[in-house]
Structure 1
Amino acid sequence: MSGCGCDAPRHGQNLMPVSEALGKLLDQATVTAEIEEVSLAAALGRVLAEDQLSGVDVPPRDNSAMDGYAVRCSDLKNSSRLAISQRIPAGTAPTALEPGTAARIFTGSEIPDGADAVVMQEDTCSESDDAGNTWVQINSEPGVGNNIREQGQDVKTGQTVMPAGTRLQAAHLGVLASVGVGMVKVYRPLKVAIVTTGDELVMPGNPLKPGQIYNSNLFTIQGLLQGMGCEIVDLGIIEDTFVGTQDALKRASEQADCIISSGGVSVGEEDHVKTAVESLGELSLWKMAIKPGKPMAFGFVNGTPILGLPGNPSSVLVTFTVLARPYLLKMQGNGQFLPNSFAVEAGFSRTKTTARQEYLRVELQDGCAVLGRSQSSGVLSSAVTAAGYLVVPENAQVREGDQLTFIPFSEVTN
């Protein structure tokens, strides 16, 4: 039986390489201009709209990295037994260290003036008499600066601790709190309308009739958008008619900053998204050299951008994470919109090639990428056990041991 020609460009329609398509998408991503101020407690996942500068040094004073004794190193040249002149718990302001004495000190406590080292308590032994006098025997010779965290070691006053465009995660919030920031200016969350097409679709929880399937794409897209901090407008399942599709896209364009559709972007008689977009605006990109997901489209409906994803479940996942996600992140003002990746060895061989750049769902075993259960565009379950995508360039065979780009799912699904 002859091939179906799925990987071959149709007459007069060359497939656009993924890198070129991504570049064109990012060139057209416009950052929302609306900014709001929120508390640090409400800022997780939001994108900073301005640089954050520190008004303090962190730590604010030299402090101890250990429980032990603060000493003046020169005093130990005369005697390794020193009287304990003060006790410095964390949060207590010390007095200057008396010459020839040591100060009992705890982790995080401020170093007293005059002290230039901390000896950890494991290298000492202490004693006291009936009159309440205490001494410490220093059993190791410290160097100047030992076990002292210097003022401003982490952050200095006036330093930019976080640039605009940072998407705030837990560690970012901790750093901002450490310099006393309580409120931050962030971009307004992106509002995204989801349009799922297909008369065969049924919402989970309802019984299936012959010829029907559950609407999994809605929940995949919704989950990915929620992970990015977007607000969601669900237009529901749209009937497979031109008028119904056109009406849904009009409503979506009026309610959201961006539209994401699934299904209806191919060339079948029941595929109406492409023609509806063209009737309401323009289609800028269509058909890309990506597998799975060739029919993905991009355009504008009454000035509102639309990302038209294919209908197959794995095609939705791949095209969203590889192409739609960077576009949406840039629209949110995020300065880091491309995922981190690294090279891994292929743990399999494959002689079959495709004219499209392929994103294989793979598992990692002993540092090598091995194929998941199924690479069919209609099979989503293989993504559950996969660790990420192995990127196979156009027209490339895979030989075991080849170094190929690996994109962890943690980089594209959070």
Structure 2
Amino acid sequence: MLLFESIKLAFNSIRASKLRSILTLLGIAVGLFSIIIVMTAISAIQNSIETTFNSIGTNNFIIQKWPAIQMGNPHRRRELRNRENLTVKQGEKLREITKLPVAIGISIGRGGRTIKFRNEKTNPNVSVAGVTYDYFMARDLKVVEGRNFTRSDDEGNKPYAVIGADIVNALFKNIDPIGQIIKVDNFNLEIIGVFEKKGSILGQSQDNFVCIPISVFEKYFGSERSASFIVMCKNKESISETMDEVIGALRKIRKVPAGQDNDFEIVTNEQLIEQFNDLTKYFKLGAAVVAFIALLAAGVGIMNIMLVSVTERTKEIGIRKAIGARKQNILTQFVIEAVSLSWFGGMIGIILGVIGGNVVAVALGVSVVVPIDWIVIGLLVTTFVGVAFGVYPAMKAANLDPIEALRYE
């Protein structure tokens, strides 16, 4: 009963000094808002990024010229630029001499293309990728209409195309795209399939691309760009063994001297997620610093308002002690008041932070999340702030001499 009575007294005290209480609550709310909005937005982005990275497959890895995320000094970037490109022939040789991979898909691409159909055309931002027949299996690309490529399509230089959902929406609103002829840089391609829609990530569509047989790509666009290889393993447990075989074979194909670092990059979804988390930790640290400063200021505000409250209610404390209230009762009452004040401001900050973070997530085209872990952490922090900065005023109130308190005017 004492607990509920103390909470009731706490809210009566807050209502009695509305402006002072609002200013104090504002500090707590700003502190929690600043960290919750960042953590909510980052959590939403992380979920979307992890889903996208996992599309590589948990039993796959990619070989490419460049690191997935490029950070470092200019000297390192120059070294990467000076690497020889990975070639389609190297990928084909790798496929021939390795035994463990289930499939090795080869791709080479160009961006910024315009796709035309009759009098319609897309924006000049479509990616065109030349791929081998087994790229679809290794990359787990699903075709919902028509079919994907076969070995004979690639070997026969068939000018076929499998298109993403964005191309369908832009050019074939009321027309079956299968069998239609599109133009890419004035080259004619027959559509034989449509990919399953994947949606967008961070405002970037994953459906704005066209795949063509790699032999046709080299014929139309050349082979001066670096290729990439996606290796599909039997299962997750065999990744390490398969990776060792593939690295050794590719080093031999590219004639990398013994003792010298690989002149290509191995990329797995775990590495991509880890690198992304390394990038976001600085945003989290910044939010934590802002939140700490705001909560420190808010804690001082809570201590101040509680000290003022003790002074204003000195006679009330004297009366309570005179009729039998113990030190522990007075101490508990004022600590609960401080915690209630902190919790009220914290809840406002958490609610606004979750809403604000998800507004950012929606604007970036990623899924909405509710970061339960950070909400719990936020509530624990507000409780700590209330207790830490409420104990001193509560002890001061509990130690008042009842006779002197009754005489107080």
TM-score interval (norm. to shorter): under 0.3
Higher relative contact order structure (alpha carbons within 8 Å, sequence separation ≥ 6) = 2
Bigger Rg, structure 1 or 2? 2
Higher share in helix: 2
TM-score with structure 2 length normalisation?
0.24
Higher share in strand: 1
TM-score with structure 1 length normalisation?
0.23
